[in-house]
A and B are shown apart, each in its own frame.
Chain A
Amino acid sequence: MILASGLRKSFGGFEAVRGIDVDVRRGESFGFLGPNGAGKSSTMRMVAAVSPVSGGVLRILGLDPATDGPEIRARIGVCPQEDTLDTELTVRDNLVVYGRYFGLPRREVRERADELLEFVQLTDKANAKVDDLSGGMKRRLTIARSLVNRPELLLLDEPTTGLDPQARHVVWDRLFRLKQAGVTLVLTTHYMDEAEQLTDRLVVMDKGLIVAEGSPLDLIAEHSTREVAELRFGVAEEGESHEVLARKVEDLAERVEVLPDRLLLYTADGEETVAKVHERGLTPAATLVRRSTLEDVFLRLTGRTLVD
């Protein structure tokens, strides 16, 4: 569905995407993970055939976006990062008019609009103004709109950013149903739970490059341990700093990470590690044993430094 090799995008002197290789197959759900500024959205815009490629090769549905832009856009659905709904039209007209831009006949578009409103649970808002919708409703409408041409490939740029938990779960549920129906999904996110829930395969991007690739489980296996033991010590406990404490336990785990308020011990068996910590006469104020998540992988690969 998408084939990129050595794909680049630069804006003036700034290189947003610095040569990435991606291969997305039909029916798969593929994720781009990365901090802000990693080049995810730039990549998505190139794939959506609205942003000219600066270098490398890009094929979408076997077509070249430089020459077949309209043809590609007719067959894909795009849900952009910001809801770009037509605020001068009603909710239903947003779908109807948008569908007409794809050359669909009026009657067909009307049918589809009603189906889609049902699908995203907005039927009772059909005649409302877009401005009167909540953030979650706008997002659902944007998703519905991206489906009006029955796309073979659906691009979602941060589909749930800024939504409350309820709204996120509704969106996830709808996307999951699309995935089950065989739509190829490509999404960007910086929510790890979203990536774990929705993607079969993902790449982690950082500073315009792909730094890891695989299924969520593969990535965890490859870049983290099975479990993580989190140890919290009181601030002035035993008069020792976290760095000193870390040195005392570092042989108990594959990797120890020192955070301002706790130590993270990456280990295969968290309970066992915690027991060993206690055997050494250390008494953390609180302990938590959890499974490794994509978030651990993500932070490992892209660092904890704040990116703006």
Chain B
Amino acid sequence: MALVSAAVGRTAARPLGAGEATGLLLYRNYLAYRRAWYIFLTGFLEPVFYLFSIGVGVGQLVTGFEFNGHEIPYAEFVAPGMLATSAMNGAVLDATFNFFFKLKYNKLFDQLLATPLTTADVARGELSWSLLRGGIYSAGFLVVMLAMGLVSSWWALLAVPASLLIGLCFGAVGMALTTYMRSWQDFEWVNLAMMPMFLFSATFFPLSAYPTGVAWVVEATPLYRGVVLCRELTTGTVGWGSAVSVVYLVAFGAVGLALVRRRLDALLLT
């Protein structure tokens, strides 16, 4: 019978390479979201609305700030903050809620692990998807910025890879934390962490507004690193500080990813 006559002269099943496995998981998620594309839209629109309301609206009342020795209009100050935020939103949405759903409810990872795929493949694939989502949001947002004349340097092109780094950091850390969550209620903690980061990471006003001690704390948060990096790129004021941000985001991402893989081993390979 054709169903089972194990592959005479035909392709036999085999373990996949890491890149192949990641590509397939992206494809699987693409198929799952194809019919729910509008879910994508809300995450993208949120920072756009903020840009219009605060950047442009409040910008009528605020003249602008000095940033790395340059005077920039308020909207140009806020826009890169929103760019970083959209990268964070895209990545975190997938890495927390959707990841939890796949882990606990859809049992997707149990299915995947019955195939030649490994927990490392799962972690990489899911993180890549978060990155992709964050990246699409950011690229879209950058187009909006460009259209509104809020980009003043060619460096801005690098804001797309920069937002992928933000996605890497938030996606990996978000997924790692999600593996510790027991119910949907636990996700309140995610909101509790993201809301203040969004409001206080020098997104709407510069770091100089804080007393020194507080400023240090803010500087150590991941969104701040992302916001500053994006702002340096879109205003063309790149410096050594930018490199610090890059290293910081990559390090968070790498540690998070390693933790995710270990946690998946502990949760799924029992």
Contact = CB atoms under 8 A, between A and B. Distances in A.
A281 to B, nearest CB: 60
Interface in A45-94: 45, 48, 50-52, 69-71, 73-75, 78, 80, 82, 84-89, 93
A299 interface: no
Most chain A CB neighbours (cut-off 10 Å) among B3, B24, B28, B112: B3
Interface string B34-51: 000000000000000000
B1 to A, nearest CB: 4
Contacts, number: 107
Nearest to B20: A103
Nearest to A129: B35
B16 A103 contact: yes
Interface string A91-132: 001000110111111001000000110010000000000000
Interface string B1-38: 11111110011111110001100100110011000000
Contacts of B107: 82, 84
B108 A101 contact: no
A171 to B, nearest CB: 15
A84 B2 contact: no
Contact of A74 (B1, B14, B268): B14
Interface residues of A, number: 43
Interface residues of B, number: 36
Interface string A144-167: 000101101000000000000000
Contacts of B5: 150, 181
A103 B13 contact: yes
B24 A119 contact: no
Interface of A: 11, 45, 48, 50-52, 69-71, 73-75, 78, 80, 82, 84-89, 93, 97-98, 100-105, 108, 115-116, 119, 147, 149-150, 152, 177-178, 181-183
Interface of B: 1-7, 10-16, 20-21, 24, 27-28, 31-32, 106-108, 110-118, 268-270
